[in-house]
Amino acid sequence: MSSRLRHPLWALAATVALTVPWIWVWATGAADGFGLFSVVGISGLAVLGASFLLAWGAETAEKDVPRAFAIAVLAVLAVAPEYAVDALYAWQAATDPSRGNLAVANMTGANRILIGLGWSGIALFSVYKATSGSRDDASVVNRAGALRDQVKLDPSISTEILFLFAATIFAFFVPLNGGIDIVDTIVLVGLYVTYIAIIIRGDVDDHEANVGVPAYFQATRRAVRIPVVLALFVFSGFLIFTAVEPFAHGLEDIGLRFGIPEFFMIQWIAPLASESPELIVTAYLVNKARSTAAFNALISSKLNQWTLLIGTLSVVYSISLGAYGVLPFEFKQAAEIWLTAGQSFFAIAILVNFRISVREALALLVLFVSQVGTEFALIRLFPAAVAEQYSIYLLLAYTAVYMVLGVGLLIFRRRNLRYLTRVTVANIRGTPVPDAEAAD
């Protein structure tokens, strides 16, 4: 009996069971009759279940499609709620220009969470799991000295890093036109389409040995496996689309009850909720000693948010407007974009040598938390107009810090940057990856 209970299908059934209460609530419209905390709990369980189903679908798909493409699909589905929230604000900006500020705030908050909490958290979690002895992860490198242990990434991730680098450099110029326009759409969406065209041409890798649900379905016939993968993607995507918004809004309402300002909630709490599937999926991959796959998923998520999400906002705005228009935002939002680009620039500088150490992860985490915490303190301590002016100074100061750190790292790691470029070119051409140059 115990062996049957350990069968992978039981794990699948238990995970689906987590989502059943939400499906019933959504189908019957019964949410109005529940209290705020009940709705958050039920929708949160559905998001948790959807995250595991999404991860299992992506792992199973690696047997039939290039791993990078499977992870890119996972990343798009996992951050789909963020697209929906930002698209709503961009749509409303056609009749209320101030909503354009909210679209930028929500988008920049989501992007900074992915790096500030996602990249740093996954690196620290990977090292913790490996050094605690609970997982033997070949990606974790133990080094002598305080906080010098590293997570080593596979050079195959170079394509994502280089395309993210290109998008980051372009992002610094986005605010100069006073809003998001057609040029931004063409460049940023074009970058992502080109990236997908490259990775989909890749060969199917010899997938890593899996256990549990992915291993069970990978052992089935292709005629069974493909429909199962599609079903997992569609079902988890449905759950994410329907459950994350009430989950995020419920958390917003809870925050407002405790006196947290609405704008702060829109920029940080709502994106944190909508990014939760991605963070859960990557933590799951790390727990299976797949740190490179976890980072690949996070970088892919950052890339599609930093290209597709920004690039499509002006399209949604123009459709709502009924004519071509530039999505407007104020100078504070321009500073938010520069800070987000600065953080991305520093994070990429860290990864150009395909490694991230504990001290580098802590630097990302501390910079992120200190900026958000300081801005929250400004909002609570000063009148709105004064707090906004101080907030702009804070954003520009942190942008400068990120840029100084990033430029310094890139100068120090210029040979790594050249090697990363060579690896990406080899990946594009389908030629053998060149030997690594000497590490820093």
- The arithmetic mean of pLDDT across residues 98-120, rounded, is 88
Residue type, 336: E
Q: Tens digits of per-residue pLDDT, 239-257?
A: 877 887 787 677 777 777 8
The domains located in the chain, with CATH, are 2-429 (1.20.1420.30)
Q: Tens digits of per-residue pLDDT, 161-205?
A: 999 999 999 999 999 988 899 999 999 999 988 988 887 775 555
Q: Which helix (H) or strand (E) is 36 found in, with range?
A: helix 36-61
- Tokens, residue 239: 């759950």
pLDDT-derived band at 440 (thresholds 50, 70, 90) equals: very low
Of 141, 131, 129, which Cα lies nearest the Cα of 284?
Answer: 129
Residue type, 48: L
Could you tell me if 74 and 57 are in contact, meaning their C-beta atoms sit under 8 angstroms apart? yes
More confident residue, 196 or 68: 196
Could you tell me if 292 and 123 are in contact, meaning their C-beta atoms sit under 8 angstroms apart? no
- Tokens, residue 355: 């490694």
- In our burial notation (b when 16+ CB lie closer than 10 A, e otherwise), range 49-62 reads bbbbbbbbbbbbbb
- Tokens, residue 250: 């419920």
Helix (H, G, I), strand (E, B) or coil at 325: coil
Could you tell me if 415 and 149 are in contact, meaning their C-beta atoms sit under 8 angstroms apart? no
Q: Give the predicted TM-score (pTM) of the model.
A: 0.81
Q: Taken in order 60, 196, 244, 171, is the CA torsion positive or negative?
A: positive
- Tokens, residue 243: 């459950």
pLDDT of residue 79: 65
C-alpha 389/C-alpha 194 separation (Å) is 39
Could you tell me if 436 and 415 are in contact, meaning their C-beta atoms sit under 8 angstroms apart? no
Eight-class DSSP state of 256:
H
Region at 293 (left for phi over 0; alpha for psi -120 to 50; beta for the rest): alpha
Q: Report the alpha-carbon angle 25-29-32, nearest 5.
A: 95
Q: What is the DSSP string of 156-200?
A: GGHHHHHHHHHHHHHHTTGGGGTEE-HHHHHHHHHHHHHHHHHHT
Q: Which helix (H) or strand (E) is 141 found in, with range?
A: strand 140-141
What percent of the chain shows pLDDT beyond 90? 30
pLDDT of residue 402: 98
C-alpha 121/C-alpha 66 separation (Å) is 26
pLDDT-derived band at 342 (thresholds 50, 70, 90) equals: very high
pLDDT-derived band at 435 (thresholds 50, 70, 90) equals: low
User: Which residues, 6+ apart, have CB-to-CB distance to 218 below 8 Å?
Assistant: 60, 63, 207, 210, 225
pLDDT of residue 214: 79
